[in-house]
Structure formats: structure tokens, C-alpha cells
Structure 1
């Protein structure tokens, strides 16, 4: 059984985000704002359905999907594209392949050393983000 990705997460590193956004066609002014954001994720799992919320002071994005079922995704507020997405488990990694006007696009989430890792990829660019778990209260730590 794959590791649980559920919880609240706060970004602690973000490598190659600007180059990834360039490939997506995001304007220089939006990229400048986006690279300064402190992103937070909330991941909920309900059976084989996931709800992933990415929030910041600038924009929020929520995606809901069932593992193994292709779905229509609109990346509203990100790069505003309509995609066909399919998420599957590959070992301990949750992998999404997105089909649309951009080639070789998607993401991978996994847990390593109590951190949530996310790789965003598109047309040869890979952005690597790492998040720490902030679900625990101080009493639990």
C-alpha cells in the first residue's frame, strides 16, 4: 500500500519553477509573482478519490480525481488549459499524465523522509518542489 499523502503541507523548496512556467507560456509578470509565493497543499483521500488543494495569497487551485479514471481538467488560474488527465499509482508514487496542447505534461507526488515531494514536468522542463507536513499541532510533536 502506498504511503499516505493526506495532510496539510507547506512548501520548503521550489527548484526550476520559472523555467517550467515559461514552457507553459505564463507571462513574465505572473511568473515573477508566482516564484515568490509560499504554496500550501491540502491533500484529502476518500477511498480511491483524491482532493488536492494548492493555496497561496495570490491564487488557489483544486483538483479532484479518482485513481485510474481519466478526467477532464481545466487548469483555471494556472495556465488556463483544458486537459485530459489520468492519475495512477506506480509503487509509492502518485503519477498524473496530462494530455493537451503541451507535450509530456504531468506531475508526480510521493513521500520521502517525511516530506511531500512534487515533480511538475512539461516538454522537458522539470520543477521540483518539497513540502513539510504542517498537519500536526504543537502538542503532537
Structure 2
């Protein structure tokens, strides 16, 4: 198996709300949009973010664990500077992200903040020092 990731699929409660957030709010471009089913956004050269209606997700993948708290996953969008982190967080806030945690210096040397999308998935906006941080920048 090749060492790569092709799709990240998130189960969403309201596809139109998610489309409004990601496409209208963040300014991303839909690659595929099937109303009432799925929205796919190419987020990298060979990577697609797929937002799939929760009921359809469960029908194929299996029951979703539900309850209080944050899903045990973060999606990270890395940028080159702390100022860019703050700018992206402000864009997310303007798009309706909730919550938005401001950027801060981390003990491991990076600068990160977080926002929640309409389904509560947490996006980390980060500048990451060192060689691995450079690998993920365009």
C-alpha cells in the first residue's frame, strides 16, 4: 500500500449548512456537489475533503458514535507565519465558525489556533517549525 491519504470524509448533519460554511464562508471551491448527499472539495494536489450526509455515511460505514465532547480528530491547515494563522482564524470567525480559539505560542515551538465547523469538527490553523512544517506548505 502506498503511503498517502486520498480522501478525508466527515459525516455532517446538514450538507447545505456545511456547503455555506466551506464554500461561501471560507471561499473554497466545490469539486463535486450532489444535493442532499455529498460535497467534495479538492484540498490538495491528490487529497479531497468529502462532506457526506450523516445518514448516508452510516448506511455505508456503520453507526456513528454520538455524545458530548469533541470528535477525537483534528484537521490541520498549515501556513507560513503566525500572522497568517490569525488571518485564517478571522476568516473562519466571519464565516460563522464556533468556537474560535485564538492563536497562541505552543510549548513545542509552533503557533496554533482552532475553530469548529458547523458539525463541531476542529480545524487547527498552524505554523509548524522545522522541516516537517515545510513539507506541508504549498
Q: Report which of the two has the higher share of helix.
A: 2
TM-score higher than 0.5 = no
- Which structure has more relative contact order (CA 8 Å, sep 6+)? It is 1
Q: Calculate the TM-score normalised by the size of structure 2.
A: 0.36
CA radius of gyration, larger in = 2
Q: Report which of the two has the higher share of strand.
A: 1
